[in-house]
Amino acid sequence: MEAFTTLRAVAVPYYHADVDTDELIPHRFLRKPLSAGYGNFLFYDKRHGSDDREDPAFVLNKAPYRRAQVLVSGRNFGCGSTREGAVYALRDYGIRAVIAPSLADIFSGNCVQNGVLPVALPERSVEALCAQLEAEPGAEVRIDLADQSVTMPDGTFCRFEIEQSRKTQLFEGLDEIEITLKHRDAIARFEAQYCARLPWLAGSRSA
């Protein structure tokens, strides 16, 4: 997984509360393999009309926002089902960070597992950020994970909180399996000592 340290990128405003995972990627696309490009299905029913053509009024279909890597939205973002495909769609589209007043817990965990930074800021700050992004389409924000800060287009500086374990995971670009594998030597030593004390267990495992 790609590490997250700092990011300066175009941000797209989508200030709606309770954006759920089915809105992020409709369930009918979850049967497809990742090789199909889940970014193609992000906000599919919002981005496209009934004829499957792009809706030019939808924010991600507007030229200044097409290369956005930061999504700014309303409270309780990522609610609904636990589908990890919602984060696959964001990441495959190119989104590296989601900023909202609050984000669903499981969604936030899925974000971290896939190299996407979930950022919770006060609602007033998120409203101000969206207003700036709407007034200046294509404007950039800067996110620094080390000092846990977001710098808005007008220079306003906001700090955010993140669990240390999640911060380390993103900063090093490791999923939970890779974190476990960092301790493979200690695990191997423990298993050897354990089997030496209880050899009958080692025999039963091989059987």
Instruction: Give the Cα separation of 57 and 61 in Å (integer).
Output: 7
Percent of the chain at pLDDT > 70 equals: 97
Let me know: does 164 contact 32? Beta carbons within 8 Å: no
Residue-wise pLDDT tens digits, 154-173: 999 999 999 999 999 999 99
Domain boundaries, the chain: 6-174, 175-207
Residue-wise pLDDT tens digits, 87-134: 999 999 999 999 999 999 999 999 999 999 999 999 999 999 999 999
Determine the pLDDT at residue 178. 75
- What average pLDDT does the chain have? 93
HSE-CB at 148 with a 13 A cutoff on CA atoms is 13
59 confidence band (pLDDT: 50, 70, 90): very high
202 confidence band (pLDDT: 50, 70, 90): low
Determine the pLDDT at residue 205. 53
Instruction: Give the Cα separation of 174 and 182 in Å (integer).
Output: 10
Q: Copy the structure tokens of residue 130.
A: 């969206």
Flag whether pLDDT at 203 surpasses 70: no
85 confidence band (pLDDT: 50, 70, 90): very high
pTM over 0.75: yes
Determine the pLDDT at residue 194. 82
Instruction: Give the Cα separation of 104 and 168 in Å (integer).
Output: 20
* Secondary-structure class of domain 6-174 per CATH: alpha beta
